[in-house]
Amino acid sequence: MALRPYFTKMKFAHIWLKVLLMFLFLKKHQGTRLGNSSYETVSCEGCSQLTLKVEFSSAVVEHEYIVAFTGYYTAKARNKFISTALKSRGISDWKIVPRNNPASDYPSDFELIEIKTSQRDTVLTLEDHPNIKRVTPQRRVFRSLKFVESEMPAPCNETKWSQKWQSSRPLRRTSLSLSSGFWHATGRHSSRRLLKAIPRQVAQTLQADVLWQLGYTGSNVKVAVFDTGLSEKHPHFKNVKERTNWTNEKTLDDGLGHGTFVAGVIASMRECQGFAPDSELHIYRVFTNNQVSYTSWFLDAFNYAILKKIDVLNLSIGGPDFMDHPFVDKVWELTANNVIMVSAIGNDGPLYGTLNNPADQMDVIGVGGIDFEDNIARFSSRGMTTWELPGGYGRMKPDIVTYGSGVRGSGLKGGCRSLSGTSVASPVVAGAVTLLVSTVQKRELVNPASMKQALIASARRLPGVNMFEQGHGKLDLLRAFQILNSYKPQASLSPSYVDLTECPYMWPYCSQPIYYGGMPTIVNVTILNGMGVTGRIVDKPDWQPYLPHNGDNIEVAFSYSSVLWPWSGYLAISISVAKKASSWEGIAQGHIMVTVASPEENESKNGAEQFSTVKLPIKVKIIPTPPRSKRVLWDQYHNLRYPPGYFPRDNLRMKNDPLDWNGDHVHTNFRDMYQHLRSMGYFVEVLGAPFTCFDASQYGTLLLVDSEEEFFPEEISKLRRDVANGLSLVVFSDWYNTSVMRKVKFYDENTRQWWMPDTGGANIPALNDLLSVWSMSFSDGIYEGDFTMANHDMYYASGCSIAMFPEEGAVISQSLKDQGLEVLKQETSLVQNVPVLGMYQTPSEGGGRIVLYGDSNCLDDSHRQKDCFWLMDALLQYTSYGVMPPSLSHSENRQKPPSGEGITPPERLEGNHLHRYSKVLETHLGDPKPRPLPNCPHLSWAKPVPLNETAPSNLWKHQKLLSIDLDALALPSFRQNRPQVRPLSPGESSAWDIPGDHRMEELARESISLLGKSGLEGGTPSLSSMGAIFIMLKSALGAGLLNFPWAFNKVGGMHTAIMVELVSLIFLISGLVILGYASSLSKHSTYQGVVKDLCGPAIGKLCGICYIINLFMICVAFLRVVEDQLEKCSVRLYTLKQYLVCNE
- Which residues share a beta bridge with 54? 145, 165
d(CA 639, CA 705): 8
Assign 3-state DSSP to the chain and report helix, strand, coil percentages, each to 5.
Answer: 30, 25, 45
Q: How many CA atoms lie within 13 A of 753 on its CB side?
A: 17
Helices 1054-1079 and 1025-1040: crossing angle in degrees, nearest 10, is 160
Residue 875 and residue 888 in contact, taking contact as beta carbons nearer than 8 Å: no
- Output DSSP code: residue 46: S
Residue 352 and residue 669 in contact, taking contact as beta carbons nearer than 8 Å: yes
Residue 418 and residue 408 in contact, taking contact as beta carbons nearer than 8 Å: yes
Residue 491 and residue 530 in contact, taking contact as beta carbons nearer than 8 Å: yes
**Closest-CA residue to 811 (of 909, 894, 912, 899):** 894
Residue 691 and residue 779 in contact, taking contact as beta carbons nearer than 8 Å: no
Strands 222-227 and 174-175: unpaired
d(CA 36, CA 34): 6
Query: Coil, helix or strand for 392?
Result: coil
d(CA 771, CA 301): 53
The catalytic site residues sit at 227, 258, 423
Q: How many CA atoms lie within 13 A of 1066 on its CB side?
A: 8
Query: Coil, helix or strand for 570?
Result: strand
d(CA 473, CA 398): 9
d(CA 1021, CA 122): 64
d(CA 1090, CA 1092): 6
Write the DSSP assignment of 384-435 as a string of letters. Answer: ---TTTTTS-PBP--SEEEE-SSEEEE-SSSSEEEEBSHHHHHHHHHHHHHH
Query: Coil, helix or strand for 1060?
Result: helix
Cis peptide bond upstream of 658, omega within 30: no
For 1029-1038, which contacts have Cβ atoms below 8 Å and span 24 or more sequence positions?
A: 1030/1000, 1030/1003, 1030/1006, 1031/1068, 1031/1069, 1031/1072, 1034/1068, 1034/1114, 1035/1065, 1035/1068, 1037/1114, 1037/1117, 1037/1118, 1037/1121, 1038/11, 1038/1064, 1038/1065, 1038/1117
Residue 1050, φ and ψ in degrees, nearest 5: -65, -35
Q: How far is CA 664 from CA 18, 165, 745, 751, in A?
A: 61, 21, 22, 31
| Rg of the chain, C-alpha, whole Å | 34
- Output DSSP code: residue 1110: H
d(CA 517, CA 532): 41
Torsion over CA: 955, 958, 962, 967 (sign): negative
d(CA 446, CA 530): 8
